[in-house]
Structure 1
Amino acid sequence: MKRVFVTVGTTSFDELITRVSAEETLHIFKSLGYSRLTLQIGRGTVVPEPFSAECFTLEVYRYKDSLQEDLQRADLVISHAGAGSCLETLEKGKPLVVVINEKLMNNHQLELAKELHKEGYLFYCTCSTLPGLLQSMDISTLKCYPPGQPEKFSAFLNKVVGLQK
C-alpha cells in the first residue's frame, strides 16, 4: 500500500489542500499506484471529507504531537515550503515535493525550494503545476539528503535568506 502524506505544518494553505484532494489529483495518485492519502491541514478552513473506498483511502487531521509516524510511513511527501517541514522530511530520506504558497510574500520559500531542487534533493511547484509535476517527475532521480547535519542546513538556509554570504 503506497502512501502520500501532505503537510502544511502549523499554517493554513487551503489552496494546497484543495488541489491535492481534487478529483483530478486523486485520479493521478491512483494511476501512480498510491492507495492512501493523509492530509495534515493545520489551521486551514478547507476540510475534505475523509473516505475509504475499495482501492483508496483519504484521511484528514489538523495537528498531532508529532508527524514522525506519518513521515515514516509515507512513500511520497507533499509539503508547504517551511524550512522545518523540508528538513524533517529530507532527513527521513523521503521523496519530497514542495509546493510554494504564492500568496505569501517575502518569505524565502521559493529561494529555499529552488536551491534544494538545484542540489537534487526535492521537486518543487505551485498548486497549479502540481498535477503536471506528479505525472512527470521521476523520484528515483532524487538524491538522499545527508542525515544528522542540521548545522549545514542552517548555514544553507542563512545563505538563502541573505543572513550569510
Structure 2
Amino acid sequence: MADRAGDDDKTRRVVFVTVGTTSFDALVKAVDSPTVKQELFTEGYTHLLIQMGRGSYVPTKSEGGSSLAVDYFTFSSSIADHLNSASLVISHAGSGSIFETLRLGKPLIVTVNEDLMDNHQSELAEELADQKHLYCARPQTLHQTVADMDLNSLVPYSPGDATPVTKLINRFLGFPDD
C-alpha cells in the first residue's frame, strides 16, 4: 500500500477550482458535472479540489480510482498551498485570483459569472485570454474549453509589465488608447 501511495504522488495531477469569497454555484455545478469531470480525467487530471465559497450547491465527493477524485471545502485562510500544488486552476474572474495564479505560472481557466451586474471582471479575463495568458469560459462552455485547451499555447504572464492592465483600465474608463 505504501508503494501505491508513492506512485499516486508522482502521477497526482490536481485541478483546483476557486470561487473566492462569493457564491458561484454555476461554476461549482459545471465542474461537478459528469461531462467536465470526464474531460478533465481524459486530459490526465486525477484530482478535483473545489473551493465553493458561500455557495449552496454541494459537489459530489468521490475517491477516484477509474475516475476523478473529488473533494471540496468552503473557505481557507490561504489558497496559496492549493494553487501551488495545482496542475490546472479553474477560477472565478476575480482579479486577485487571476493574478495570484498567473504569478505562480499555473495554467488557468477563468470562468465568468454572468449573473453579476456590470461585470468588469469579465473584461479583464477576456483581455488576458486575448493575450493568451489564460483561457476564458462561461459555466456552460467550460466542458468545451477543457476539451479544446492546449496548455502549451499559453504565454507566461510577466507581472512586471502593467501596460496591458493599464490599457484595459483606461479603455474601461473611456480614455483613448496611446
Q: Give the aligned residue type for 2:47.
A: R
Unaligned runs of 5+ in 2: 1-11
The answer for unaligned runs of 5 or more in structure 1 is: none
Which stretch shifts more, 84-93 or 42-51? Answer: 42-51
Moved more, 14-23 or 151-160: 151-160
Instruction: Determine which of 86, 90, 106 is the counterpart of 2:102.
Output: 90
**2:128 aligned with 1:116:** yes
Q: Does 1:71 pair with 2:78?
A: no
Corresponding position of 1:33? 44
Q: Is 1:105 aligned to residue 108 of structure 2?
A: no
Q: Given that residues 127 and 168 in structure 2 are in contact (C-alpha distance below 8 angstroms), is that contact kept between their aligned partners in structure 1?
A: no
Number of residue pairs matched by the alignment: 164
**Do the aligned partners of 1:112 and 1:160 also contact (CA within 8 Å) in 2?**
no
Amino acid at match of 1:27: Q
Cα RMSD (Å): 1.8
TM-score, normalised with respect to structure 1: 0.91
Q: CA deviation at 1:161?
A: 3.6
Q: Does 1:145 align with 2:167?
A: no
In the TM superposition, what is the alpha-carbon distance from 1:131 to its structure 2 partner?
Answer: 0.5
Counterpart amino acid of residue 6 in structure 1: V
2:92 maps to: 80
Cα distance change of structure 1 residues 58 and 117 upon mapping to structure 2, 3 Å threshold: same
Query: Match of 1:128, SS?
Result: helix
* Mapped partners of 1:46, 1:156: distance in 2: 37
Give the Cα separation in 2 of the matches to 1:70 and 1:39: 10
Scaled by the length of structure 2, what TM-score is found?
Answer: 0.85
Distance 1:91 1:153, change over 3 A: farther
Match 1:59 to one of 49, 57, 71 = 71
Alpha-carbon contact 1:2-1:74 (below 8 Å) kept: yes
Go from structure 1 to structure 2 and tell me whether the alpha carbon gap of 1:19 and 1:83 turns closer, same or farther (over 3 Å shift): same
CA drift at 1:51: 2.1
| 1:158 aligns to 2:178 (yes or no) | no
Structure 1 counterpart of 2:7: none
Q: Which runs of 4+ in 1 moved over 4 A?
A: 150-154
Q: Whole-Å Cα distance in 1 between the matches of residues 106 and 37 of structure 2?
A: 20
How far did 1:25 drift? 1.2
Q: Which has the larger radius of gyration?
A: 2
**1:9 maps to what in 2?**
20
